Chain A
């Protein structure tokens, strides 16, 4: 089925380790975003991209890097994992122009990350 695919679904890291969360979409969406979800705080935007080669910071970007070399892929890199980065991470994509903005975002199924 078409949609947003996130890997891995679960991950345990040790403090200081680095890793990349993968996100891919096959809907030709211009917009892609990474959110983290923590209890009582809703979903907070980490980084987003409005198209290939263009990325920008969201609300909570510290400790994370992103790149967008293709329309389909938007990986999120944790540079040096910290316990405060224990969270559920969601990737989402959307059309960015015209009526496509009405459609909202399509979300992946999430990655549950634990940093010990």
Chain B
């Protein structure tokens, strides 16, 4: 079955430290890839997306992600964490061939930022 794997259900970083949230997908054809963020008691907000135009994608709030076909990965990074980044982050994939054009989510990673 096609799947999205997010390594680490919880990640804790200090304020000012690098944020790295990992996402791997299974697909023989590069799909469309997305990162969503969910703040407590809120809906999902699109952070960034990969649509094959460029392998390094910049999103909102200083986040970026790099698509690596050879590793089937789309890890999310931010050079310096801020307290306001504390949230749950979801990686998602969408592809016509193997996901039937549906949006499939990983299990999510909760980011905690320590002062």
- A residues bordering B, Cβ < 8 Å? 31, 33, 35, 40-45, 48, 50, 58, 90, 92, 94, 96, 101-105, 107-110
Contacts and interface: CB of A to CB of B under 8 A. Distances in A.
A101 B101 contact: yes
Contact of B90 (A43, A50, A109): A43
Interface in B15-71: 32, 34, 36, 42-46, 49, 51
Contacts, number: 54
Interface residues of B, number: 24
Nearest to A50: B101
B30 to A, nearest CB: 13
The binding surface of chain B is classed by DSSP as: strand
Given A42-B107, A104-B49, A58 B102 contact: yes
Contacts of B32: 101-102, 104
Contacts of A103: 49
Given A107-B44, A109-B43, A31 B51 contact: no
Given A40-B9, A42-B90, A109-B43, A104 B103 contact: yes
A94 to B, nearest CB: 7
A45 B104 CA distance: 8
A102 B103 contact: no
Contacts of B96: 101
B43 A102 contact: no
Contacts of A31: 101
A84 to B, nearest CB: 18
Contact of A101 (B36, B90, B94, B106): B94
Nearest to A30: B101
A86 B103 CA distance: 22
Nearest to B109: A42
A110 B36 CA distance: 15
